[in-house]
Amino acid sequence: MNDTEQRIKEALGLLAERTPHPGPTLNALRRKRKRQRNNIFLIATAGVAAVAVLIFAGVVASDRYAPPNPNDAGAALVVEQPSRLPLKYSPHWLPEGYVEVYRGLLDGERAYVPAGAQGYPFTDGGPLTRIFKSKAKPDTAGWDEISVRGLRAWVQTRQGQSAGLTAEVVWDAQDWLHVTVRGTSDVKQTAMQVAESVRTDAKVENRPLFTLDGQEATEVWGSSPGDWGAQFKKDPLVIQVSTRSPGLTGGAPVTVRGKQGVQIDGAVAVLDGSVWVTVRGAAPLEQLVKTANDVQLASSPDTNWIGKGI
């Protein structure tokens, strides 16, 4: 038995000696109702002593734990915490086969495309359904006035990015809500049906995929839980974390995050575990490297929602 274990044993023995015998407590419980206050006191005394033993044991035992060195790779990971930019709204109806591929956390945007399609914003005009919120009413001059769940709303169809028409619905709920639909046979009807299905959803949880100086990634996209990217803009820099290589070919080697990365005009990138950390922008190389070093990655990326329907 070493010195530490001996001290633990002695300390626990001393506390045990000071702990009241349970006999008086049990006897007190059998006494008349008028002595109920004394009963409570005795029970509390016994409980506090027991808790003290457990706390002391835990404190001594924790003395054996050494926190990770700030230079360790583990220090670059963040404990998963709820997003400070929570998603607030969810559609409860979508065109058949549509899955979620994008979240823009600043305006609560959620985008859905047919399963297997490239994730928005890489659809290049393909089928898309998305919802988002805004603080102010957009200009709806010339739009048709309708209602969404009994609320005043507006709808328009226009020639948009895709080959066919794009429909937009706007209505005033707790926020100004927007639904955009393209790539269906009747975009107006689809947009109105999606809008009718939108509800506030407190169950939607979002955990940051990475943080930088306490601020989290504000955009996340992908085609599957294992194929994703996340982005955060901090003027003049754009910080990305992705499972895909940024494709910076022909660059010079540079040390980033304690590993060999690559630098090219206005960008540095490094493969850290299973993800690429990339920083781009009009800044000196030293600032690009420092920013990449300061990125904190989630230990268990929350990407299970990517590629899933409602």
* Residue 230: both structure tokens together: 């996340």
- Has residue 66 got a pLDDT over 80? no
Above pLDDT 70, what percent of the chain? Answer: 73
* Residue 253: both structure tokens together: 């080697």
Give the pLDDT confidence score for residue 7 in this predicted structure. Answer: 52
CB 169, CB 133: distance < 8 Å: no
What pLDDT digit, counting tens, does each position of 13-46 carry?
444 444 455 555 545 545 544 444 444 443 444 4
What pLDDT digit, counting tens, does each position of 127-162 carry?
999 999 999 999 999 999 999 999 999 999 999 777
- 3-class secondary-structure state, position 237: strand
What pLDDT digit, counting tens, does each position of 202-213 carry?
777 778 999 999
User: Predicted confidence band at 116 (pLDDT cuts at 50, 70, 90)?
Assistant: confident
Write the DSSP string, 94-157.
-STTEEEEEEETTTTEEEEEETTSPPTTS-TT--EEEEEEESS----TTPEEEEETTEEEEEEE
Prior bond to 236 cis, omega within 30?
Answer: yes
Above pLDDT 90, what percent of the chain? Answer: 61
Q: Which residue has the tokens 């609560």?
A: 108
Give the pLDDT confidence score for residue 118 in this predicted structure. Answer: 74
CB 66, CB 74: distance < 8 Å: no
